[in-house]
Structure 1
Amino acid sequence: MTTLFISDLHLSPATPEITACFIKFIREEAPQAEALYVLGDLFEFWTGDDDKSDFAETIRQEFKALTDSGVKCYFTQGNRDFLLGKRFCQQTGVELLDDMSVINVYGKRALVLHGDLLCTEDVKYLAFREKVHQPWLQWVFNRLPFWVKEKIVSKVQGEIRDDKQHKDLTIMDVTQSEVERVMRQYDVNLMIHGHTHRPDIHRFKANGVECTRIVLGDWYEQGSVLFCNTETTELQTRPFEGSSREHGQLLS
């Protein structure tokens, strides 16, 4: 059996090639797995579980078919889909994880998370994150008419795009000292996350202990999957329709 990890698909009706790659993956590959972990930013932006669009319903149906087949599916909220909640999980059979969760990956304790909390130098974003994660604010937002929420989200997305254009790329990457602190806190030497769109396998020592941090890739130019079984752990890509490129990076 295998366990699969994905993140940063940024699914949207405006990017049908990404949606097609995802649907192919979830129909043909994910059903063969023991579990699928989605580590945030599945959507370009999730406005709320009351989204009744054809696009949103299609994604719900794909997850429901997967979980109905017996595959466990877990979801960690990202900075683009922090409004995904209990209703989505009830409709799809997906299980929502905490911001940081320790799981067992074939005998190895691993910490899984979206990754935005590791970017401690991005002070402006972390302040925004703290604000929008306040339960009372989400309670109010979720009770607004959907068309009003869409207008608010559109404005916020524009502000985020403008802000990113003026940020140094190093600010939007993880802070190594925070990575090590969090791994000590959770007593793990393996971490898996997304968010930074910089797929790689980082090996380092922390307090004399060999540690590994695996960064999942985005789906802007191809699908990106972390493939794990009892014998190997490998970062792999999945080509979009019409493309033949596919490669992997081995961890073990």
Structure 2
Amino acid sequence: MQHILACIDASAYANSVCDLAAWASRRLTLPIELLHIVQRRDAVAARHDLSGAIGLGVKTDLMEELVRLEESDAKLQIERGRALLAAGEQRLREARATQVRTLHRHGGIVETILEREAEARLVVMGKRGAGHEFATDHIGSKIERVVRASDRPILIASRAVEEPREIVFAYDASKAAERALERLLDSPLFVGLPVHIVMADTDNDAHRAALRGAADQLRGSRAVRETLRSGKAETVIADIVAQTPGAMLMMGAYGHSPLRALIVGSTTTAMIRTVHVPVLLVR
């Protein structure tokens, strides 16, 4: 059964994830799977173990202590996770989400999300995880890995969100942008929402024609504006987002290349980093 996969942790983004998931649930009439993952940790690494440099008896005692600490920490993480899921479920129900089920998993964060998204229509995540929530203008490394590996639309929550009232659609006539345009046309998620299509490129006949063609497909069922402006995409788009009350940014996501050099500095990453509104990424 299709659902919305909402991924929460102990960061300040958990409430925003729940609020956006509830909004999407109401519009798509889909249940929500609320997921929290306890990541496995290496107790030896966590304690910076130097037992190899000391006597065998002491090393054995230290390893036993580490095992006990790891067991205690695992129990604590489970209880924290249960409390977090309970609070998230309550917030979703108060926001009139269609249906909510919770799931508490142990394992790798990226791997678990990719496994659980198999039947998801939409994945909702926070911009940063609990370990990096105060790293201003950065995105979490695991968020980036999920986005690059996933084939589902991913809605990335900012720290504070409001219900989206207008879509700012970053359009560049790429294959990913055309797929995003198809979703704008077909998905109940966007029904009735005005759209501002933005192209950051040289002002010429070809670009004006491409932008007009995309806008014309959307007209008739909603209000549509279009802007073609020269400049860096991250600057042009961010300026328009900042001037749009209740904006949600929608754009095509980057490809699956494993080379990190192709990630750093990309428009996708720059937009996730710098805008302070929800960002919907479409492959």
Instruction: Calculate the TM-score normalised by the size of structure 1.
Output: 0.30
Which has the higher Rg, Structure 1 or Structure 2? 2
